Amino acid sequence: MDISLKALRYFMAATESGSLTEASKKLHVVPSAVLAAVNQVEEAFGMQLTIRHRSKGIAPTSTGKIIMARVRHLLDEYEALMSQGVEMRTQLIGTLRVGYYAPVAPAFLPAIAQNLLADNPRVDIKFIECDTQSAQAGLLSGDFDVILCVAESLAPEVAFETLIEVPGYLLVPKQHAFASRSSVSLSELDGEPMILLDQPVISDYYSRMFQAAEVTPHVVCTATTLEMVRSLVGMGVGCSLLHMRPKTHETYAGENVLEVPLYPATDPLKIVLGYLPDNPRRIVKYFTDSLRDLFSQDAANRFLVISQAEK
């Protein structure tokens, strides 16, 4: 038989006070309610846990004292859990788990993390890089509190909002002939040595771009990380198509790369923020509000590479 928390509380009040009457006064209920709860607890355990006296006195048996200690621990744990829940809803505490599929996320997430952590010592953050499908699955399973990903096959159970739409651009070595150009068309890339970012959604997106432009790229290399692509371009291996850009032109290898807008512009990729609408944790709200603020400001334009003809 299941025992309610209320019955356990009534049982503890009675055995600790030694009186059904005193327990009923403390709990603001009638004595019969306390007696019924004590009977329910004893019936559930199938043991005599108390000794009753005619004057409505009550005392625990030796077995009852053992059960009382365990019940007290259970009730204390329950109260601590409920208090923690209130804190998580009203204060900036706890662990924030962010799943992201946005290659340039390291260009903007650290600033938000720094602001969050600076004044909130009871907060820690876990950033987990993944793909769009894994990000959504992780959010729905509870592994993530919030996600950033590309708008592709979005789960209906998740609340999504577009943070930014980013058109493609051409990344070239500093010494490349395209480096001095104000823009480049996709048709000019026919036969050009290309390095492509090989990640889910992105790869299909590039294929559709080239097919629509009737361009056959000469793919000399692929890489699964943004910085490997940038470093290969910097070494002159080829050019690449990318979207959001970081602040720096220098690669890990120490070479410089330049971003050249595509004209006409390609269909942009949408970077979306995803979260569960019923998550009341204040830390989640702080993080999502910070992202909205960032991408609503003009500063977000630094992530975009747009031809002057498109402005």
Per-residue pLDDT tens digits for 106-158? 888 998 999 888 888 888 999 999 988 999 999 999 999 999 999 888 888 89
Q: What is the pLDDT of residue 302?
A: 84
Q: Which of 157, 128, 152 has its CA nearest to residue 203? A: 152
Condensed to tens digits (0 to 9), the pLDDT of residues 5-23 reads: 899 999 999 999 999 999 9
* Winning range, highest mean pLDDT, from 74-88, 222-236, 294-308: 222-236
- Greatest CA separation for the chain: 102
Confirm if 167 and 205 have CB atoms less than 8 A apart: no
Q: Report the alpha-carbon distance of residue 89 to residue 133 in Å, rounded.
A: 28
Q: In sequence order, which residues have a C-beta less than 8 Å from that of residue 89 and are 6 or more positions away?
A: 280, 281, 282
Q: Report the alpha-carbon distance of residue 54 to residue 108 in Å, rounded.
A: 72
Confirm if 50 and 14 have CB atoms less than 8 A apart: yes
Condensed to tens digits (0 to 9), the pLDDT of residues 162-220 reads: 999 999 999 999 999 999 999 999 999 988 999 999 988 888 889 888 998 899 889 99
Q: Report the alpha-carbon distance of residue 73 to residue 75 in Å, rounded.
A: 6
Amino acid sitting at position 37: A
Q: In sequence order, which residues have a C-beta less than 8 Å from that of residue 224 and are 6 or more positions away?
A: 197, 198, 199
Amino acid sitting at position 72: R
Q: Report the alpha-carbon distance of residue 18 to residue 57 in Å, rounded.
A: 6
Q: What is the pLDDT of residue 173?
A: 96
CA neighbours closer than 13 Å in the CB half-sphere of residue 1:
11
Q: Report the alpha-carbon distance of residue 263 to residue 188 in Å, rounded.
A: 11
Q: Which two tokens stand for residue 238?
A: 């080829």
Q: Report the alpha-carbon distance of residue 186 to residue 260 in Å, rounded.
A: 12
Q: Which two tokens stand for residue 272?
A: 């979306």
Angle at Cα 97 formed by Cα 201 and Cα 243, nearest 5°?
30
Q: Report the alpha-carbon distance of residue 113 to residue 116 in Å, rounded.
A: 5
Q: What is the mean pLDDT of residues 251-265?
A: 94
